[in-house]
Amino acid sequence: MRKGHMIVCDGGNGAGKTTVLKAIEVHLQAKGRELVMTREPGGTPIGEKVREILLSPDTPEMCGVTELMLFAAARAQHVRERILPAIAAGKIVVSDRFDSATVSFQHYARGLPLDLIHKINSIAIDGFKPDITIILDLDPIVGLQRVSSRGEGLDRMEQESMDFLHKARHGYLEQAKNDPAHFVVIDSSQPLEKVIIDVIHVVDRIIA
Ligand code: T5A
């Protein structure tokens, strides 16, 4: 029986997930809630190794199906090793990205068939569904400017074309439109303080 909650924060590159997730963590800790903060790809020792392969800029030749299966492999481990035990223990799992990212990036942007994405995703998540996926929506041009302003290099995905990143953004908005009970879109071009207020409002509704 499900006891805990899972909240996902997702969106385009540089939309502010990492920043917003820190605010969610502080908020939920202040409420005394037991938390698991995690991310995809990653979240487990195996998943973090897969992340290195996926995001390394040294392998631009990676084909779409390999990419899809590696994201799914990391997710399969993440769900079974980390997420389901935490939910069963009544904890709140907060994840930086989850299956919505695969639909946006590997289907809408990369162009892999949606039925293949759903098939592979469903093997990875085995019937599990987050309570809510919060999409931080931002023009990818602004997102990449934010990423670049950190002074770090761009990873393999961030080096994709602007058209690819625009298609991924469209994919998030389509998912939210098609499933309003499980998605919320927040405008992340707003001042950070307002983005955080909007996100915390959603989090409080879910855990109430
Ligand atoms: N991917 C992932 C797939 O293709 N398929 C999948 O199934 C999965 C799971 C993962 C990559 O893999 C892809 C998607 C990604 O390309 P990632 O680490 O999640 O990589 O990559 P990014 O989205 O690029 O994460 P970043 O850490 O780079 O960006 P964030 O976390 O969204 O942004 P953040 O918080 O670091 O903010 C960036 C800068 O903007 C500022 C912050 O201070 C920071 O300097 N900022 C704001 N500035 C002004 N106003 C605001 N409202 C701001 N919010 C943040």
Contacts of 16 (CB under 8 A, 6+ apart): 136, 138, 146, 188, 192, 195
Q: What is the pLDDT along the chain (208 residues), one digit of tens a residue?
A: 578 999 999 999 999 999 999 999 999 999 999 999 999 999 999 999 999 999 999 999 999 999 999 999 999 999 999 999 999 999 999 999 999 999 999 999 999 999 999 999 999 999 999 999 999 999 999 999 998 888 888 899 988 999 999 999 999 999 999 999 999 999 999 999 999 999 999 999 999 8
When divided into structural domains, the chain yields a total of 1
Q: Ligand 1 centroid to 90 CA: how many Å?
A: 28
End-to-end CA distance of the chain: 18
* pLDDT score for 208: 87
Q: Ligand 1 centroid to 14 CA: how many Å?
A: 4
* pLDDT score for 1: 59
- Contact call for residues 89 and 57 (beta carbons, < 8 A): no
CATH code, domain carrying 17:
3.40.50.300
| Ligand 1 pocket, residues with Cβ under 6 angstroms | 13-19, 40-41, 71, 96-97, 101-102, 105-106, 146-147, 149-150, 157-158, 188, 192, 195
Q: Ligand 1 centroid to 193 CA: how many Å?
A: 17
Question: Could you list the residue range(s) of the whole structural domain that residue 69 is in?
Answer: 5-207
pLDDT per residue as tens digits for the range 156-167: 998 899 999 999
- Contact call for residues 197 and 27 (beta carbons, < 8 A): no
